[in-house]
Amino acid sequence: MTTAVLGAAGFLGVNLVDALVAQGERPRCVRRPRTNVLALRQRKVPMVTADAERPDELREALLGADTVFHLAGHYPRHCLEPALSLETGLRQLRHVLDAAAAAGVKRLVYVSSTATVAPAAGRPSTEADVFQQAPPYGLYHALKWQMEQLALAERRFEVVVACPAACLGPHDLRVGTSALLVALARGLDPPHPDGWVSWVDARDVAAALVRLARAAAPPRRVILSAGTVGLHPLLLALARRYSVAPPSPPLPAAKAIALADAEEARARVDGDRARLSREIADLIVWGVELDATLARTSLGVVFRPLDETLDAFDAWARRVGTLPPHPKGAPWKHPPISTHASSS
């Protein structure tokens, strides 16, 4: 059995490669021409270079693979050019699907997002809650929904879709969903709205993806979420965990979205990072409570508690410098915060 991983060098990719290697597999790791492959090199896994804009390279990279994990969906750095980002995301996904079909792939596991899960009245949302058209929130939701629709429309081979919540854990070198956490732990006061946020350990996502790939009759689309909490209460608990000042009160939704737009425009000019990205603002403002029962029952996924995820993230982040080292004499063990968070 040959397995190819698109996006193997990324945050989820490295965790997935570890999960596959732990099962005795030697996945073919497809990487972009210019990306950080230090973690993959240390794992001595085979690497193939392919650009999502080059169909011939993709076809070559997937040739002979029966299973493909696609973790390399277009991820715009900002939301300032929605039409261009949508066009790019859909074009690149078409290239991947066509390459997989040409290569004779049997099953493709596509990593989408919980941004595609619609709200449900009076209960947590499940896989049955779908948007009938692109959610009218912002680029990130629209892009993820359109890409997921395209993947699910594929008929030349089987496609299964995973919708992971905000992923936390080791190997988040780009500081993606952990941006608010890292800012807070560094003693900054990150501006934020309030709303539901769902989290999941990247290692649990990896385990679930492997099961999706190997199950005889996997669910077509599955939510991967360890729990849902209110963001502001979570940040208050994290401030206690990291012994830093509590965050300022949350911004009203409209103000947070306006700030995110202004920050992205500023960051684009200054060449640095927005203090609040539009994607994160939308995910929080429009966040829904999630029910991940299907992942537990159909795939047997056991989601780690938040404290365990944070301990693993902290240990890794302090080694690589994403978080500062512990102050001398500080207790090694953080106070638990899971009592403040409700699992769904």
Partner 1 sequence: METPADLDARIIKLISQVVPVKPEQIKRGDRLREDLGMDSVCSMELLSMLAEELDLDVGVEDAAGIRTVADTIALAARFLRAKAAA
Question: At closest approach, how far in Å is the CB of 9 from partner 1?
Answer: 8
Question: At closest approach, how far in Å is the CB of 41 from partner 1?
Answer: 6
Pick between residue 320 and residue 330 the one whose CB is nearest to partner 1. 320
- Residue 280 DSSP class: H
Give the x-and-dash track for 33-72 against partner 1 (CB under 8 A): -xxxxxx-xx------------------------------
273 is an interface residue for partner 1 by CB under 8 A: yes
Question: At closest approach, how far in Å is the CB of 59 from partner 1?
Answer: 24
Residue in this structure with the two tokens 């948007």, named with its chain if needed: 131
Give the x-and-dash track for 173-212 against partner 1 (CB under 8 A): xx--------------------------------------
Q: In what order do the strands lie in the sheet with 3-6?
A: 47-49, 28-31, 3-6, 67-70, 107-111, 158-164, 221-224
315 is an interface residue for partner 1 by CB under 8 A: no
272 is an interface residue for partner 1 by CB under 8 A: yes
326 is an interface residue for partner 1 by CB under 8 A: no
Would you call 316 exposed, middle or buried from its count of C-beta atoms within 10 A (0-12, 13-18, 19+)?
middle
Burial 135-164 (b: 16+ CB within 10 A, else e): bebbbbbbbbbbbbbbbbebeebebbbbbb
Selected from 319, 324, 330, 335, the binder of partner 1 by CB under 8 A is 319
Question: At closest approach, how far in Å is the CB of 121 from partner 1?
Answer: 41
Nearest to 168 by CA among 127, 200, 142: 200
DSSP 13-26: HHHHHHHHHHTT--
Binding site for partner 1 (CB under 8 A): 34-39, 41-42, 173-174, 271-273, 319-321
